[in-house]
Amino acid sequence: MAATVFVFGSINADTSYRVAALPGAGETVIAASASSSPGGKGANQAIASAAAGAPTRLIGAVGTDVAATSLLEALGSRGVDTAAIAPRTGAPTGSAVVYVDDAGENCIVVLSGANELLDAEVASSGLSSIGAGDVLVLQSEVPAHASRAAAAIARTAGASVIWNAAPAPASRSDLVGDVDLLVVNETELVQIARLLGIRGATDEPETANLAGLLSATAAALEADAICTLGAAGAIYVVAGSSGRVAAPKVRAVDTTAAGDTVVGYLAAHAQLPIVERLRLATSAGALTVTRAGASSSIPQLTDVEPMLVDLTERTPA
């Protein structure tokens, strides 16, 4: 039986607005267009994992409102198993408003809603079938205690655990243990290294020794680690080796969900050697930014493979 990817995380109803420039404080801007789609890092990463070809189950919480019904239908249409998503009364389904400018950059406002009600009980129920060889994916948009409970269950069952520490944890109490692979961007790496008391972590991402911080952070967490660098690809410390993988050169239209696409593809192809795995994931992320929209921009594996072939041919051995 093929390994299953279990994603424990946030589920939001996203509304995206396309604007010429992101609004400043007190500024009103006119949107050129709007669209709606499933969102939240958990939902996005589950959609990406399914698009990458892996059997994928999403574990999370939604309200009992109309938005929940629409989200479950949309997730199912993208190949995501939604049987472990728990309805919660007394809280709305999570939602997010995304603003995207003409350069493809975005800013996002999130109302957590039912996502804040995720707990160990939901984790235990949703992960009842996880086993050796499976993969659990976590983020930081749901309570850390719930993610820690999920990680402990997965580890006990012999599954591997990926923690995408996004958004960056605010305190040490937000850190997740029992992690096999940490995935962060530059800002998140610096913040986690700072929380861990790693020397040099007071630098801003632009001036920090990211490779050194990644190695030290991996050692402190006793885990492998990947730091995504956007258009510059990614650096990694995995199984005692380290290096950098380039990303394809593309013109960014909308960067929303690019990082989530990378994480979903990493989870779906956990069996690949790290360089091959990262080339695939960063290619998928690069293709995502060429498309407008949030989860709707996440590509299928068949769309990514031609880009991967081109990247491999242009990369020196």
Digit-coded pLDDT (tens) for 166-223? 999 999 999 998 999 999 999 999 999 999 999 888 878 887 899 999 999 999 999 9
172 in a structural domain: yes
- Rounded mean pLDDT of 276-293? 94
Q: What are 7's strand-pairing partners? A: 58, 137
Q: What pLDDT sits at residue 45?
A: 98
Say yes or no to pLDDT of 311 above 90.
no
- Rounded mean pLDDT of 59-72? 95
Say yes or no to pLDDT of 317 above 80.
no
What's the pTM? Answer: 0.92
Q: Is the peptide bond before 167 cis (omega within 30 degrees of 0)?
A: yes
**CA 144/CA 148 separation, integer angstroms:** 6
Percentage of the residues of the chain whose pLDDT score is greater than 90: 83
178 in a structural domain: yes
Which residue in 14, 134, 174, 260 is the catalytic one?
260
Question: pLDDT of 217-240, one tens digit each?
Answer: 999 999 999 999 999 999 999 999
Say yes or no to pLDDT of 37 above 90.
no
Q: What pLDDT sits at residue 88?
A: 94
- The domain in which residue 253 lies consists of 5-22+33-314
* Mean of per-residue pLDDT scores for the chain: 93
CATH number at residue 62: 3.40.1190.20
Say yes or no to pLDDT of 71 above 80.
yes
Q: How many domains does the chain have?
A: 1
115 in a structural domain: yes
- Helix locations, the chain, DSSP H: 41-51, 66-77, 120-126, 144-157, 186-195, 210-221, 258-268, 274-288, 301-314
230 in a structural domain: yes
Give rounded-to-5 percent helix, strand, coil for the chain.
40, 25, 40
Q: Is 101 a catalytic residue?
A: no
Say yes or no to pLDDT of 316 above 70.
no
28 in a structural domain: no
